[in-house]
Amino acid sequence: MVLYCFIKGVTFLVVDFAKFWNFSVSFTAVYYACLKIELFMRKLRNNELGRISVDEFKKTSKTPIIVVLDNIRSLNNVGSVFRTCDAFLIEKIYLCGITATPPNKEIHKTALGATESVTWEHFENTVDVVKKLKSENVKVLSIEQAENSTKLNTFLPEKNQKYAIVMGNEVKGVQQEVINVSDLCVEIPQLGTKHSLNISVTTGVVLWDLFSKMNS
């Protein structure tokens, strides 16, 4: 009823405006045009999104990307990364050092169940994870502002190559010793006054960029 009244109100407004400027406009034509626009952009309900179950997620072929969290202190950030990884079918998350692990109610607040779908493992030392991944022919990208870094918008992933992205601590960033053993440093170009983006935001930007390039 509210939607109907809104569309009808907009229709009257358009018709009155047209009359003021001596345009000939059909009330019916404007009404149905407004109605068509509204129906075209109708928000989907959750049960219309076509999401898969946790069991289906486990069996589905994954995006060849691994996320490594290097001493992330915020549990909300950890949960947000889990949720983003779920969205892009990320293969695995490595939680390193002080990074908290599930089950944890603070992680759950932002993960919203993604800790059940996305595979994860805890390592005490991030360098050990990077060396392990490189031995498995995974290319490791430290997401950090560094000398000779590659801008994210210019980076092109190789076909049939698995990648790992290392996300650093909220204050100190990726450890230098981790950068030293990485294959590449990738940086998000920034134009404003702040030195960096939030780690969960950065993860989302990088994963979407890599995901879209891998599937283009």
**Tokens representing 88?**
């892009």
> Alpha-carbon Rg of the chain, whole angstroms?
24
Query: Rounded to whole angstroms, how far apart are CA atoms 87 and 204?
Result: 10
Q: Count other Cβ atoms within 10 Å, centred on residue 115.
A: 21
Query: Rounded to whole angstroms, how far apart are CA atoms 93 and 113?
Result: 15
End-to-end CA distance of the chain: 43
Q: Which residue segments constitute the domains of the chain, with CATH numbers given?
A: 2-40 (no CATH), 54-214 (3.40.1280.10)
pLDDT tens by residue, 107-151: 999 999 999 999 999 999 999 999 999 999 999 999 999 999 999
pLDDT tens by residue, 182-199: 999 999 999 999 999 999
Task: Please tell me whether residue 78 adopts helix, strand or coil conformation.
Answer: helix
Task: Please tell me whether residue 198 adopts helix, strand or coil conformation.
Answer: coil
Its pTM stands at 0.82
Query: Rounded to whole angstroms, how far apart are CA atoms 58 and 89?
Result: 9
User: In a 10 Å sphere around its CB, with 0-12 CB exposed, 13-18 middle and 19+ buried, how is residue 28 labelled?
Assistant: exposed
Q: Is the pLDDT of residue 212 over 90?
A: yes
